[in-house]
Structure 1
Amino acid sequence: MGWETSAIGDLTGKRALVTGATSGIGTETARVLLRHGAKVVITARDERKAADTVSDLGDVDVITLDLADLPGTIAAAQGVVDAGERFDIVINNAGVMVPPFTRTMDGFELQIATNHLGHFAWTATLWPLLREGATRVVTVSSLAHSGTKGIDLRSLEPNGDPRRYKRWRSYAESKLANLLFMKELDRRAKAAGLGLVSVAAHPGLSATNLTRSSGPLHFLAGAFSQPAHAGAWPTLRAASDPTLTGGEYVGPASLRQTRGRPTKVGMTSAARDPRLAAEVWAASETATGVVFDVS
């Protein structure tokens, strides 16, 4: 039968933080964590969507967060740190997928800014709350990470990437960056002797609003994909399975990882490249202006 959400167990007394939880997989992830007793905090860009989500889910707190705005992201994370309440689970779920070319106010292409740099700055600024104990950081990636063999580091420089914009390439690079970040955070945490667990997940092919900008894929997702609650299973397993001790990647088990119960899955050689991971980490520190000292 495979993994079931019943395996999550009782999360009473645990605190979880989920970015981008006002729709799709983020909402379903928050819903199940609440059902198992966790205190859940979500982030949202849009106040109306946040209010609708609170009405739907019930007892959740909301942090206003736009990951494409680096100064705002750092300020929001610092506000969480100043509040002083630790988190047992942090799920970096928010993202954008193949939009028309957009440059953020900080000068970065929107997908690399939101999907990777924003979460890098967010997690780095939250670090004082995460480094103690066995906090579990889940980074949500995608099957699309296999669509690129590397990352042009110029994409991590404001106005620095001279390549013609290709939305799928940019999306693939941002999702590869997610996995490189997860692996490098895992390496650094273990080297520092910390109990933090860094893992990643992907939802397979799931019917959510994320694919709306992707043209034919949105139609295919609606016709052939699994529902959002099933797409949340890999994230939920990554967030709760005690046998995952860091560096693992969880995705659907069936039909080439597009659907089904969650299991440990592989990733490309580029995603496992420690040299590339270290380079992306250093470039991300420069891009965000945040030194992420895992110690």
Structure 2
Amino acid sequence: MSDKQQRINSGFDNRSTAAEVTAAIDLTGKTAVVTGGYSGIGLETTRALAGAGAHVVVPARRPDIAAGSLEGMANTEVDELDLADLDSVRGFAERLLASGRGIDIVIDSAGIMACPETRVGPGWELQFAVNHLGHFALVNRLLPALREARVVSVSSSGHRLSPMRWEDPQFERGYDRSEAYGQSKTANALFAVELDRLAASAGVRAFTLHPGAILTPLMRHISEDDQREFGWIDEDGNAPDHFKTAEQGAATQTWAAVSPSLDGLGGLFLEDCEVAEVNTDVGPGPGVRPHAIDPDEAQRLWAFSAELTGVNAFA
């Protein structure tokens, strides 16, 4: 896999916006599903896709709030979905499949970060459950409607914080909110690797990505003091120059979903509207760490996720 992680000179960069990425793209007649598509970079992704002509379905745990965020935005609709509840995932997928529509784009943009220890379902750690398992079940259930589609699994540079913790994936022997977030972001990346391997022959290609450093509601569980310590904000609460706006942060996942430059490709980790290079250094830095694109780890995670959720479109 790592030998495929080579730049392709996309023509875009870390300051490109989602609107710029879609400026020359006509998505008329296409249907997209964007989880988290009413807040932060998800909202800007919805705006760009809808502006290019796609009809965007935005599933939301709080449909009333989502409807308010999307009020007046053409080509959008809201439905209910709680990624922490597999019955809710099934219900949303069944409603969408019953509509008879084909789906061209799925962007798994919803997520939570560094939350207090919380358990859902049969005791699953919340970040792993929402960021990975809910999306895993959702995409598997929607697969019958995917047609020459792209599935975009939004990871982050946070994948550097932890590989898969096979000895204790649910943090039952001690919770660390940062490592739990890191594991969930590694899982997002590995999901795309294995989905692409399984579904490419049917015309479904998958990508994963780091959207960049952006101040969004995702950081709600991190105090301002911690954000200052991490260098995310200064004493006045302003982000440093290298941080992106929400419009810029939405660009890479939008590019992954629509760019013809990625035709025939898949299973890749992207950043700054480019294919990321592999970085084996420890600590901060650009690129993707090998553990997040390891095909053996990806297959192991798929089997584990299918066992936990009871959902596997390829069984």
TM-score (norm 2): 0.83
Report Cα offsets for 1:36-57 as digits up to 9, x if no partner: 1111111111133122122153
Of the candidates 124, 142, 165, which is equivalent to residue 175 of structure 2? 165
1:249: which partner in 2? 269
Question: Structure 2 CA distance, aligned partners of 1:109 and 1:2?
Answer: 40
* Per-residue CA distance 1:28-85 (angstroms, 9 max, x = gap): 0000111111111111111331221221534411110010111211221122112221
2:209 is aligned with 1:201: yes
**Alpha carbons of 1:170 and 1:86: their partners in 2 closer, same or farther (altered >3 Å)?**
same
Correspondence list, 1:193-272, <5 A: 193-215=201-223, 216=225, 218=227, 220=232, 222-224=238-240, 225-244=243-262, 245-252=265-272, 262-266=273-277, 267-272=288-293
Which region of structure 1 is more displaced relative to structure 2, 97-106 or 60-69? 97-106
> Could you tell which deviates more after superposition, 216-225 or 110-119?
216-225
SS of the equivalent of 2:239 reads helix
Structure 1 residue 241, shift from structure 2 partner: 1.2
1:34-45 aligned at under 5 Å gives the runs 34-45=50-61
List per-residue Cα deviations over 1:244-270 (Å, max 9, x = no partner).
Answer: 221122212xxxxxxxxx221132111
RMSD across aligned positions (CA)? 1.9
Q: Which residue of 1 aligns with 2:199?
A: 189
Match of 1:258 in 2: none
Which residues of structure 2 form unaligned runs of 5+?
Answer: 1-9, 13-19, 278-287
1:217 to partner: Cα distance:
5.6
Specify the SS of the correspondent of 1:88: strand
2:36/2:58 contact within 8 Å kept: yes
Gaps of 5+ in 1: 253-261
Per the alignment, residue 67 of structure 2 pairs with 51
Report if the CA contact (8 A) 1:198-1:247 is conserved: yes
How far residue 8 of structure 1 moved from its aligned partner, in angstroms, is 4.7
Q: Deviations over 1:84-139 (max 9, x none)?
A: 21111111111000011111134211100000000000001111112xx3111111
Using a 3 Å threshold, how does the CA distance of structure 1 residues 206 and 293 change in structure 2: closer, same or farther? same
Deviation digits for residues 158-195 of structure 1, max 9, x if unmatched? Answer: xx6422100000000000000100000111123xx221
How far did residue 153 of structure 1 move? 6.0
Distance in 1 of aligned mates of 2:130 and 2:115: 12
2:160 aligned partner? 146
d(CA) in 2 for partners of 1:87, 1:251: 25
Q: Given the superposition, is the C-alpha separation of residues 213 and 161 from structure 1 closer, same or farther in structure 2, using an over 3 Å criterion? A: closer
1:291 CA displacement: 2.2
CA pair 127-154 structure 1, distance change in 2 beyond 3 A:
farther
- The number of residues matched between the two structures is 277
Aligned partners of 2:22 and 2:255 also within 8 Å: no
